[in-house]
Amino acid sequence: MKKLNIYFTAGIPQLEDTAEIIKIIQEAGADMMEIGMPYSDPVADGEVIQQAHIKALENGMSIEKLFEQLAKTKGEIHIPIILMGYINPVLSYGFEKFC
């Protein structure tokens, strides 16, 4: 059986859109979603994702802000959410705190 996984970068098009986008992806029938955690030097990504990271950071997205937004969806989202990102911001945030 095929599964549909949707990717988007947290914090775009506007900073506060993330929680609503998560809900819409689930309502649209996705089996899981992958949320990109923006990083200031996303050299392993293509140009589109790099620009998305830059825009999200300009909007004020951070790991802490993303976790606040994810908390807003607690109890409403029943499909897996995978966080995708670089280790640098995770280490800066604190590995134990992140986990």
> Known catalytic residues?
34, 45
pLDDT tens per residue across span 17-63: 999 999 999 999 999 999 999 999 988 889 999 999 999 999 999 99
Polymer length of the chain: 99
Range of the domain at 57: 5-98
Report how far residue 10's alpha carbon sits from residue 63's, in angstroms, rounded to the nearest whole number.
9
pLDDT, residue 82, reads: 97
CATH number at residue 41: 3.20.20.70
Determine the pLDDT at residue 42.
87
CB 25 within 8 A of CB 17: no
CB 55 within 8 Å of CB 17: no
Rg (CA), the chain: 13
Q: Is the pTM of this model over 0.75?
A: yes
Domain count, the chain: 1
